[in-house]
Amino acid sequence: MRIRKGFKIQSVGGENIILLQGTYGVDTTKIVSFNDTSLLLWNIYEDKEFTAEDIAASLVEEFGIERELATKDAIAWIDVLVQNRLIEQQ
């Protein structure tokens, strides 16, 4: 999988966000907020192919957490990106 091109995180009022615009004539604008860990992962994998295992490995390396927790967190992060159509899956 890969983060879709064209989305950029912006810092607004101390929050890291992506503004997802709805289609013309439909009010579906949505804001996705990123905490510091989400921002770190986004920056690492913005231009790379990755798996949940890759994300988990980065969490273990960066924060020294147990692999099981890292895998759970990686899957949760990916799920949020998928729900908001921020990931391309091949």
Distances (CA, A) of 5 to 38, 83, 85, 88: 17, 16, 11, 9
Percent with pLDDT over 70 in the chain: 90
Domain boundaries, the chain: 2-88
Instruction: Label residues 62-83 b or e (16+ Cβ within 10 Å = b).
Output: eeeeeeeebbebbeebbeebee
Collapse the DSSP code of 82 into the 3-class scheme (helix H, G, I; strand E, B; otherwise coil) and give the result: helix
32-45 residue pLDDT tens = 899 999 999 999 99
pLDDT for res 23? 54
Spatial separation of the C-alpha atoms in residues 56 and 67, rounded to whole Å: 7
60 phi/psi in degrees, rounded to 5:
-65, -45
**Parts of the chain with a pLDDT under 70:** 21-29
Collapse the DSSP code of 54 into the 3-class scheme (helix H, G, I; strand E, B; otherwise coil) and give the result: helix
76-88 residue pLDDT tens = 999 999 998 899 9
Q: What is the pTM of this model?
A: 0.85
pLDDT for res 19? 81
Among the four given CATH numbers 3.30.450.90, 1.10.10.1150, 3.40.50.510, 3.40.190.10, the one describing domain 2-88: 1.10.10.1150
